[in-house]
Amino acid sequence: MTDKTQLAQARKDVCMKLNEYLESGLANSAMQINSGQCIDFADELCGQSGLESISAEAFQVVDPSLDDGDHRKFEEGRPLDRRLLAEDWPEVVPPPGMDWDSLDEWAADIALSGGHHVFLVHDAKLFFDAECPEGTPNFLELPFFQRLIQSWKEEKGMKAEGAFTP
């Protein structure tokens, strides 16, 4: 299966799973899936058409004193692993009106973790969830994260313009 064919199938699989949830009454909307059922949704799709499940905590810098087997360099005050993002997902960049430092502040303020959102990645290039079945190269463009960022910006009194548009 070519990359294009596999990607088209991944998009189709996400759309089919979304429709299954909606038609069976498991959820009333894609937003509802992303507000508590994202783990199940992602797990059910994991392994299909090259889709892998991933959680928000995967992007955090890990403190080696926690000794969980991940020995990436811990950078004080930087909850996001910028090296990992730059190397593995170069399309992931801060949203308009934010830089890496404000994005780190956001991640720290909301205690970004796997408890926030579990979503899918295809071939380390596109991120998917119930609200974004077409995929996006920047997980911060997923509507789930857009809402969190927008809410945080409002709390901080930051300008709301420049929000992502899927």
Q: What is the pLDDT of residue 75?
A: 53
Over the chain, what is the mean pLDDT? 83
Report pLDDT for 4.
Answer: 85
Residue range(s) defining the domain that contains residue 57:
4-154
Answer whether residue 108 is part of any domain: yes
Q: What is the C-alpha separation between 28 and 82, in angstroms, rounded? A: 36
How much of the chain exceeds pLDDT 90, in percent?
50
Distance of CA 146 to the CA centre of its chain: 10
3-state class of 144 per DSSP?
helix
The strand order across the sheet containing 126-129 reads: 51-55, 118-122, 126-129, 132-136
Whether 150 is covered by a domain: the verdict is yes
**Does residue 164 lie within any of the structural domains?**
no
Domain total in the chain = 1
Has residue 59 been placed in a domain? Answer: yes
CB 139 within 8 A of CB 74: no
pLDDT at residue 166, as a whole number: 38
Name the pTM for this structure. 0.81
